Amino acid sequence: MSDPNVEKEAGSTQEPVKDTNHSDAPTPEPEKKKREYKDFGHEEEAATHAKVDMSQIQLKAEDLYDKDKVDLETIVVDDVFKLLQCDENGLSDEEAQRRLELFGPNKLESEEQNPFLQFLSFMWNPLSWVMEGAALVAIVLSNGEHRPPDWEDFVGIVLLLFINSAIGFYEERNAGNAVKALMDSLAPKAKVKRNGQWKEIESSELVPGDMIAFKIGDIVPADCRLTEAINVSIDQAALTGESLPSSKKNGDQCFSGSTCKQGEAEGVVISTGANTFFGRAASLVGQDDDTTGHLQKILAQIGSFCLVSIGIFVIAEIFCLYAGFRYNYRRGLDNILVLLIGGIPIAMPTVLSVTLAVGAQQLAKYKAIVTRITAIEELAAVTILCSDKTGTLTTNKLTIDRETIRIYGPFSIEDVILLAAYASRTENQDAIDTCVVGALDDPSRARAGITLLDFKPFNPVDKRTEITYREESSGKLKRVTKGMTGIIIELCTRNKTEELENKLEADVEEFAARGLRALAVAYEELDGDDPEGEGNGFELIGLLPIFDPPRDDTKQTIDDALLLGVKVKMVTGDQLAIAKETGRRLGLGDHMYPAKVLKDGPEPGSRFANLDEMILDADGFAGVFPEHKYEIVKRLQGLGHLCAMTGDGANDAPALSRANVGIAVEGATDAARGAADIVLTEPGLSTIVHAIRGSRIIFQRMRNYSIYACAVTIRIVVCFAILAFAFKFDFPPFMVLIIALLNDGTIMTLSVDRVLPSMTPDSWDLAEIFSFAVAYGIYLTASTIALVAIIIKTTFFHDKFGVTLTNGATMATDHNDPQLHMIVYLQVAIISQALIFVTRSHGFFFMERPSVALFVAFCIAQLVSSIIAAYGDWGFTNIHSISGGWIGIVWVWNIIWFFPLDLIKFAMKATVIKRLRARHEAQLARQTKDTGVPITRTQSRAASIHESLYSNRVSFIRRAARKVGFGQKVSMKPEELQRFSSIQAQRTGTVLARNPSRQAA
């Protein structure tokens, strides 16, 4: 078995040299079995034959790509030509055109979106429906009884609605398109043989059966089987995750999108477009049955909570006010409008968008570009981080592990490294030569003190390099060779003994078990001055272990992630032994499994009852393909986990897209960046820890606002409905809009509020949020009703403070006294805003200092509210200014009622919230007992009814496209509708521009 490390020594385009395996060296005795050194590498699969009747095969895509019938990737090349009905002279133009119609173009199709319908689709969700309903009531239903429509409320609501839609539309239109990035990285041109002549065509015109050619630097334009390969080395790391370029020989398969790093080749195309290995990876991008984003589901559920709350009391008012009190049409409608305007969290999408946008700017300081703004919220809830290895956890740069170098002769470790560097190229280096020369403290020593006489670069025949040189200090001629262990030991006639071979074999096996690639080094001296002369026999002097080392900060990053409650799993296309060794070095663990377990499941009798249990326990998986990465993430999500996935290659794109948060690391391909939600522009993973902490701060701000918004909804709806039922109190709708606008202006500053991140993954527990909201809302309702009841039923405030109402009244015999309306407005405005200081803190409100912006905004809003109360005499609404005495009374009243809010919070935590959490933990315990797999809650993901509300947005735009005659011109994928970006997307474009896709020569 060949050693892929040494086989992958790239950089030479010379013809293979003559075999120099010392044929005259003593041969082993016939009865002695030749040793099979377990050099680390891929198992070679024997070619198979097609399991079909060649005379009956039909040239159809359904047949050629059905692996149960025929596997074009493994059958012998002669059968490939028979099955594809072609030969080495290529196809005719007519046949190529026929096949193009049969198989389709060799490219990935992208779908177009109609901008106008896309904009309209943002008005299709529960929150927008309530807002639209309120606007409709204000402008249409309010037009009657000699009174004009309620233009003020209508304009305010519609303006906010359009602003929210515009923000969403802008973000989505700027979102990265992963499929387009994958398509753009394909080679645009291809050298093909048609009618027996070589010519250059668009790669999209390639068809199965075409003969193609490529050379060093070219991108392979389609999946092919090689018919001629001259010293070919292919870099397919971006597709398979392999650390090194892969040597290819006749009959081997090359993947579309991989890069030729050495040599030149000809081959026959076996699959094109979406049927290539590259295309299958692209087709997985966006194949997410989760048609709505996580934050959208939360918004849907909060919107539904507000909608139901409003609906209950609106229906109650219709029956009570019209049927019971016999209100006239317009009077009853004004009361209903108060509930609609006050109950809608009008600014919720805007507040959350601003919070996320500010968060995206803050994350940009840590070199993390957010390309889907809602991913910030999901990152806070991530419980598992699935990380690619090559180039992500590791440097993707081979290194010699000095601590495990083996010495077999009278040489030191430094001597062995120096001699190995002599046997390496110093320019036009491949990966092996680079790491060997790089192991020297000064790379110039690789040629210092010697005179180069002859150098034989690596070639697939000899599988080694060799240098003959003159040592300037002694004038002696010497020779050094390095390469595959089995080849080198056969050359070592001077010190090859049974004992040495046993030791070497044991060392190579140890290296292979640890995922280290073995590079043997041998040395000999020459008699005389003839560089071509025979030496005194090679002597094995050392074995160099080569590996892809972890990044310097990776271990610390993993430790930090674990402290934050995020479990890290390695998911790599590299070999199992390499993955285990990397896991051990990083402290990640070595409970890793080959990808085949994802298909076969746990072995009978193992400690795992099912595959899900094994995936949860595993520290990682090795030898995975794009389908496997995608499946791992999907299964973890199915268990209730929110997953982040890091990667850098096209092979990572499907899993990056499927993951709740896809993270493209620094230096990632266009495809990975396009599929990712966050793009890192700095090497290493330390940025991810900053991003997780930052996202949890942002999450806390959004949670605080959500409790506040729901509490205000309950507070307004319940309060004014009870006031209408109990006292026939008709509050002016416009004043509710003023309260909402002042509240929203203050709440916007929550986006920069000072909060502490949690040390465990955050989760939207809506039962807790709604419980807090109801408790706060009912309490604040009581504060207002108590005040109104005292003013209406008693003369308490006149007796104690000497204040009066309209026309000197000592109590509100007129329940709709304009000054009473103003008193209620001021009381509701002040204490509603003050509530935010309670919802934003976990302990007493004065123990957690708010941001300066929030405090200043609160003070300004209260000043404006007090000024309106003191001077607001507006003719279009039923209010009248009140005296300073009343303003003082309202302030003192609110302060008295404010302090017990913290006690309500603590009481809720000790009773209702504690019970909710206990019930949830019991439910988890039952699920774990039944399935054997601990399931992490993410309650919002199970809310199918709320998902369907947002899914309607998808069906709406499709129906609209058909209605207005766009037909097939508009084809929008559900997953594309949920992709958001931020103003940071422009920076992403700049990064992509600096790292364009490589074009074929």
Residues annotated as catalytic are: 388
- CA atoms of 841 and 590, how far apart (whole Å): 42
Question: CA gyration radius for the chain?
Answer: 36
Quick one: tokens of 252?
A: 């081997």
Where are the alpha helices (H) located in 659-685, listed in sequence order? 670-675
Residue 782 makes CB contacts below 8 A (sequence gap 6+) with none
Distances (CA, A) of 631 to 19, 288, 656, 890: 46, 11, 12, 60
Residue 607: strand, helix, or coil = coil
Residue 645's Cβ-side half-sphere holds a number of Cα atoms within 13 Å equal to: 31
Distances (CA, A) of 882 to 805, 809, 870, 892: 8, 13, 5, 15
Torsion angle of the four alpha carbons 354, 356, 357, 362, in this order, in degrees rounded to the nearest 10 = 130
Q: What is the DSSP letter of 46?
A: P
Cβ–Cβ under 8 Å, residues 197 and 251:
no
Cβ–Cβ under 8 Å, residues 887 and 826:
yes
Residue 518: strand, helix, or coil = strand
Query: What does DSSP say about strands 643-647 and 661-664: parallel, antiparallel, or unpaired?
Result: parallel
- Residue 898's identity, in one-letter code, is F
Pick from 40, 421, 425: which is nearest to 244 by CA? 40
Task: Outline where DSSP puts E strands in 694-766.
Answer: none
Q: What is the DSSP letter of 604?
A: T
Continuous segment of H or E residues that includes residue 698: helix 686-727
- 970 sits in the region (left: phi over 0; alpha: psi -120 to 50; else beta) called beta
Torsion angle of the four alpha carbons 872, 876, 878, 884, in this order, in degrees rounded to the nearest 10 = 0
DSSP-assigned beta bridge partners for residue 406? 543
Q: What is the DSSP letter of 995?
A: S
Cβ–Cβ under 8 Å, residues 520 and 472:
no
* 156 Cα distance to chain centroid: 37
Residue 571: strand, helix, or coil = strand
| 131 phi, psi to nearest 5 deg | -60, -45
Q: What is the DSSP string of 132-166?
A: HHHHHIIIIIT-BTTB---HHHHHHHHHHHHHHHH
Return the percent helix, strand and coil in the chain, to nearest 5: 50, 15, 35
In 10 A of CB 213, how many CB atoms? 16
* 341 Cα distance to chain centroid: 38
Residue 328: strand, helix, or coil = coil
Helix axes 294-317, 329-343, angle to 10 degrees: 160
Query: What does DSSP say about strands 253-254 and 643-647: parallel, antiparallel, or unpaired?
Result: unpaired
The 3-state secondary structure of 237-283, one letter per residue: HHHHCCCCCEEECCCCEECCCCEEEEEEEEEEEEECHHHCHHHHHHH
- CA atoms of 528 and 68, how far apart (whole Å): 64
- 428 sits in the region (left: phi over 0; alpha: psi -120 to 50; else beta) called left
Residue 212: strand, helix, or coil = strand
